[in-house]
Structure 1
Amino acid sequence: MAVLGATAPLSQAWAADRPVIAFTWDDLPAHAALPPGVTRTQVATDLLRASAKAKAPAFGFINGVQTEREPGSGAALTLWRQARQPLGNHTWSHPNLASLTPEQFTAEIARNEPMLQALMGDQDWRWLRYPFLSEGDTPEKRLAVRGWLAANHYKIASVTMSFGDWAFSDPYARCVAKGDQAAIAQLEKIYLDGAAAVADRSRDMAKTLYGKDIPYVLLMHGGAFEARMADRLFQLYQDKGFGFTTLEKAESHPFYRTDIDPSLPPEPTTLEDALKAKGLPVPPLPIDLKTVSEMCR
């Protein structure tokens, strides 16, 4: 395999015995629909229990507006902190930067901060996960927001592994309501097969670029189907040889350096964009989310 040089030298310290994943959980405390009889606190409890069993750190990203839309859901955030897991900023109401001015978007970030300060105390909560992973529709907008992030001591939570888990929770809730066990079993299979195939895809992209693994940051969402599948998902990654790490440790790798320091000129911090920047083909996403979205309608 031809190995292409990285923008920054890859640290020898990351020549680990096995690949590692940092799990990150978006849309807390309330992602997507709930099946009948399931609560937000139960979802958080199940996610945290499975994470503890797998010894997998669980970095959560919050949308504060959900505590207003679903009164009582904030208890899930309290559970997260009681489990000594960190929380970061996913903006107040999950807007797409492409539809806002930089000033409107940074106001969305700032509006989340009092809640984060109350939950996190003196621990580091200044991590941003962009909603929709969108840094805007113009270079000027991207740079303006990154300048604000740098001035306010934020780091950006990149994503280098994602299999579209967000697409499963609404269909799952519909299938539970209908009592369609066959459809639920199909969702489970698509989910686990997709996670396995995407893990291989991310590793292949990293090895095309650098000849070795980098620490991967996995995008997940705090929904009911994710809670149902958490034990099996952690086991799948363990069976494939992955270990688990923190977001901070994963992003200490040079690949993520311009997201750790947003004042730097931005470089690609997804594997797909890194391949595109070098004129290399991006492998297709090996999961059919359209089929998932139509289930149990």
Structure 2
Amino acid sequence: MRALPLAALALAAAGSAQAAAPAPVIALTFDDLPAHGPMPPGETRVGITQALLAAFAEAKAPAFGFINGVQTLREPASAPALKLWRDAGQPLGNHTWSHPNIASLSAADFTAEIAGNEAMLQALMGDEDWRWLRYPFLSEGETPAKRAEVRAWLAAHRYRIASVTMGFGDYAFNDPYARCVAKGDQAAVADLEQRFLDGAAATADRARAMSKALYGRDIPYVLLMHAGAFDARMAPRLLALYRAKGFGFTTLPQAEADPFYRTDVEPGLPPAPTTLENALRAKGLPVPADPVDLAALDRICR
């Protein structure tokens, strides 16, 4: 057999390595349970949750939910949604009691907000692990001192932080969706649907590009979503889109077992970048532009 040229051998080896690379995976996380955003006419919080859970079951995708306990007081009819989530085998974690921005509180008042959710989480989760915090607004505070104080509290109380390494501003679609349904503007709803899917696809590509620029590989991605009416409407198509792009689904703890997330899994460690964007900046690498124009959504169905 004639020997292959070195260039051909190199290409063949690169192709084999690429073929052997594991498929990228996403951990789904949903904030603001049991109530996020406005409800279009005819919808309920329970119905929204049922639709989300049905989509997860169809896609065989685990999803970690984060609760604001105050919503069960503001909207008592939303409370059964949390039991439905647990009955479906999906876990719940802490998004603080009332979703404040940490910048508006002292560190002590913010940790009290976290603690205020714990009795509800304990009742819902029993012996399963609920000690995961998703910061409201993804904000850890306006000063390094406050960040460090809250992280020290989290470490002392055995919490881990639910990172975010993929997202496309899904929360911003729920308001215009409710407006468009109320107006009966089906063309505008179709436009929102396309924008939603296009944004998800573009930001998935962006996250992968950032990860590969940093590490030459895909980290497991943690996707930020919200338990809103439009999210529920789009969940089957969104999960199908990710499947079509080659993603599998994993759990939040499995995703954050990757070394990238060590600072959030062990919040008592010294400061380190906890997003792909900040990791790029720390290495002096360019951060790709955000491909989603959320400002345009505010003009729809006005």
Would you say same fold, with TM above 0.5? Answer: yes
List per-residue Cα deviations over 1:195-227 (Å, max 9, x = no partner): 000000000000000011000000000000000
Measure the CA separation in 2 of the matches of 1:295 and 1:75.
32
Measure the CA separation in 2 of the matches of 1:287 and 1:96.
24
Q: How does 1:3-82 map to 2 (within 5 A)?
A: 17-82=22-87
Residue 8 of structure 2 aligns with which residue? Answer: none
List per-residue Cα deviations over 1:223-264 (Å, max 9, x = no partner): 000000000000000000000000000000000001001111
How far 1:266 moved relative to its partner? 2.2
Amino acid at match of 2:186: Q
Stretches of 4+ moved more than 2 A in 1? none
How far 1:62 moved relative to its partner? 0.2
Measure the CA separation in 2 of the matches of 1:290 and 1:65.
29
How far 1:43 moved relative to its partner? 0.5
Cα distance change on mapping 1:16 and 1:127 into 2, 3 Å: farther
Helix, strand or coil at the partner of 2:181: helix
Helix, strand or coil at the partner of 1:249: helix
Residue 277 of structure 1 aligns with which residue? Answer: 282
Q: How does 1:78-93 map to 2 (within 5 A)?
A: 78-93=83-98
Amino acid at match of 2:24: P
* 1:254 pairs with 2:259: yes
Helix, strand or coil at the partner of 1:218: strand
Q: Which moved more, 1:199-208 or 1:94-103?
A: 94-103
State the structure with more CA Rg: 2
TM-score (norm 1): 0.94
Amino acid at match of 1:220: M
Helix, strand or coil at the partner of 1:84: coil
How far 1:16 moved relative to its partner? 5.2
Q: How does 1:1-297 map to 2 (within 5 A)?
A: 17-297=22-302
Measure the CA separation in 1 of the matches of 2:301 and 2:149.
43
Amino acid at match of 2:54: R
Amino acid at match of 1:195: A
How far 1:279 moved relative to its partner? 1.5
Measure the CA separation in 1 of the matches of 2:93 and 2:205.
28
Amino acid at match of 1:250: A
CA contact (8 A) 1:259 1:266 kept: no
Helix, strand or coil at the partner of 1:252: coil
How far 1:24 moved relative to its partner? 0.1
List per-residue Cα deviations over 1:111-158 (Å, max 9, x = no partner): 000000000001000000000000000000000000000000000000
Measure the CA separation in 2 of the matches of 1:150 and 1:53.
36
How far 1:168 moved relative to its partner? 0.3
Amino acid at match of 2:260: F
Measure the CA separation in 1 of the matches of 2:292 and 2:78.
31
Helix, strand or coil at the partner of 2:242: helix
Measure the CA separation in 1 of the matches of 2:136 and 2:50.
24
Measure the CA separation in 2 of the matches of 1:63 and 1:269.
23
Helix, strand or coil at the partner of 1:72: helix
Q: Structure 1 regions of 5+ residues with no counterpart? A: 1-14
Q: Structure 2 regions of 5+ residues with no counterpart? A: 1-19
CA contact (8 A) 1:162 1:198 kept: yes
Task: Count the aligned residue pairs.
Answer: 283
Measure the CA separation in 2 of the matches of 1:24 and 1:185.
25
CA contact (8 A) 1:178 1:296 kept: yes
TM-score (norm 2): 0.93
Measure the CA separation in 1 of the matches of 2:213 and 2:25.
18
Measure the CA separation in 2 of the matches of 1:204 and 1:231.
25
Relative contact order, CA 8 A, sep 6+: which one is greater?
A: 1
Amino acid at match of 1:113: E
How far 1:293 moved relative to its partner? 2.0
